[in-house]
Amino acid sequence: MPWLLLFCVIAGFSTDLALAGEKRPPKPPKPPKAERPIEKLEKMTPAQRQKALERVPPERRQNIERRLDHLDKLSPEEKARVARFRELSPEKQQAVRQAVNQMTNLPPDRQRSVRSELRDMRGLPEPERKARMNSAEFRGRFSPHERKLIEKLSDVVPD
């Protein structure tokens, strides 16, 4: 039994010595979130994209490549909107999808009014946006349905 105790103590001590004596590389910082496939593709060079998509059926691959090219050409504001959308929870993303689809069902002039309102909200801090949506002027300009749409869509309005 004393040998067993001595062995355990020395084993632990020697392991500590081995760990302390070794110059271990610092752990790399963990990424905040796992990168989505679309984000990986965005960061790739055209050659890397081609390599990543080489097993996709040709027609489907060309469609993806075309849309990726279009994504590269988005304006900074549109890219910021996409970035905000990606930060949302899955539930809120689904709410935004529904709101966009419902907005496209509005008459064209009402669509323009909603877009105009969303554009005016850009750069406003969250409290000011809420105050604006609670104002009597806002309530007078939009129907309850439109106000709900704008409230949901304000989640993807760039700061």
Partner 1 sequence: MSCAAKGVGPETVVDYCAGTLDRHAAREFEQHAAGCPDCEHALARQQQLWTLLDSWDDVPLSADFNRRLYQAIEREEGVSPVRRYARLAAARLWPLSWRPLVPLGAIAATLAIALIIETPGPRLSAPPPDAQVKSEKLDVDQVESALDDIDLLQKLSDASPSAM
Q: Are 155 and 86 in contact (CB under 8 A)?
A: no
Distance CA 142, CA 137 (A): 9
Q: Are 158 and 77 in contact (CB under 8 A)?
A: yes
Longest C-alpha distance within the chain, in Å? 89
145 binds partner 1 (CB under 8 A): no
37 binds partner 1 (CB under 8 A): yes
Look up residue 31 and give its DSSP letter: P
Instruction: CB nearer to partner 1: give 105 or 136.
Output: 105
Distance CA 101, CA 48 (A): 34
Size of the site for partner 1 (CB under 8 A): 50
97 binds partner 1 (CB under 8 A): yes
Residues that bind partner 1 in the complex, under the rule CB under 8 A: 3, 6-7, 10-11, 14-15, 18-19, 22, 24-25, 36-38, 40-41, 44, 48, 51-53, 56, 60, 64, 67-68, 71, 74-75, 77-78, 81-82, 85, 93, 96-97, 100-101, 103-104, 108, 111-112, 115, 118-119, 153, 156
